[in-house]
Chains A and B, each alone.
Chain A
């Protein structure tokens, strides 16, 4: 039976230095969404392995949501219903070290 389940890497993602991959080894999922942590002040940069702290090669830049309102988010999902998105190839950078954007990832698992 196939079930779309939360990935273990989901949760607050601490970024204390240069852009970091969401997973350190190849981790395939169906959907990933990255959102600034509510109340934090970082801009969040998202890109591939060549993401620069100067916003070069960014595929998305998310504004913070310091005080209410809907948070900006970057979401990508395989519409074919397969686990094709490799979290080790998606890098995240927070402009304020230590901020923790929220990563939500779901993948198909056979249970």
Chain B
């Protein structure tokens, strides 16, 4: 029985959320150390949310996580009101040169004024069909065509 399971057993109802914060606290910096890839737990928690800023990277291409982080569901949405396309790809995109989007496997259209598709934003979703934590966020890279723009990223993990 690991530390998280011990905490949950000892505190009962409500301990899961506490255990999640403990997991976060155990890890270095902002890293999140959830279950290893391929496993699953019983509580769905968000491990990544909000506008995703890649501007600290030299070429504007950033992985969703700097170290392996395993999720069961990932969603990337063009940020309403922003004007550039969003390229999504694997590690090859990090070393892309002239046209980074040519190394991507997907592009999202911008949604600058809600004039298309009844205002819905283009969105990419990947989920494990068995709800296992098999998606390594460190292997998914994002590149906003316009520097400084921030797609909305959400990732869920079962802990």
Residues on A facing B (Cβ under 8 Å): 1-6, 10-12, 30-31, 33, 35, 37-38, 65, 68-71, 77-81, 102-106, 108, 111
Known: A5-B139, A70-B120. A38 touches B132 (CB 8 A): no
Known: A1-B36, A69-B117, A108-B134. A11 touches B89 (CB 8 A): yes
Contact residue among A2, A69, A104, A108 (Cβ-Cβ distance under 8 Å from B109): A69
Known: A1-B38, A10-B89. A102 touches B105 (CB 8 A): yes
CA distance A77 to B115 in the complex (A): 31
Q: Can you give 28 contacting A-B residue pairs, CB < 8 Å?
A: A1-B38, A2-B37, A3-B38, A6-B90, A6-B139, A10-B105, A11-B92, A11-B102, A11-B103, A30-B129, A35-B106, A38-B107, A68-B109, A69-B109, A69-B117, A70-B109, A70-B117, A70-B120, A71-B109, A71-B122, A77-B129, A78-B129, A80-B129, A81-B128, A81-B130, A81-B132, A102-B105, A105-B105
In the complex, are the beta carbons of B107 and A102 less than 8 A apart? yes
Does B16 make an interface contact (CB < 8 A)?
no
CA distance A3 to B105 in the complex (A): 18
In the complex, are the beta carbons of B89 and A6 less than 8 A apart? yes
CB distance from B156 to the nearest CB of A (A): 14
Chain B residues within 8 Å of A80, by CB = 129-130
For B110-127 the 0/1 string (1 means CB < 8 A from A) is: 100001110011110010
Chain A residues within 8 Å of B37, by CB = 1-3, 111
CA distance A41 to B6 in the complex (A): 58
In the complex, are the beta carbons of A5 and B136 less than 8 A apart? yes
CB distance from B107 to the nearest CB of A (A): 5
Known: A1-B38, A5-B139, A102-B107. A68 touches B116 (CB 8 A): yes
CA distance A6 to B103 in the complex (A): 12
Does B15 make an interface contact (CB < 8 A)?
no
Please name 17 further chain A to chain B contacts, defined as beta carbons within 8 Å, in addition to the given A68-B115, A111-B37, sorted by A numbering: A3-B37, A4-B126, A6-B89, A11-B103, A11-B105, A12-B104, A30-B129, A31-B126, A68-B109, A68-B110, A69-B122, A70-B109, A70-B116, A70-B117, A70-B121, A102-B105, A105-B105
Residue from A30, A79, A102 having most chain B Cβ neighbours under 10 A: A102
Chain A residues within 8 Å of B126, by CB = 4, 31, 106
Contact residue among B115, B117, B128 (Cβ-Cβ distance under 8 Å from A4): B128
CB closest residue in chain A, given B85: A38
CA distance A102 to B122 in the complex (A): 15
Does B135 make an interface contact (CB < 8 A)?
yes
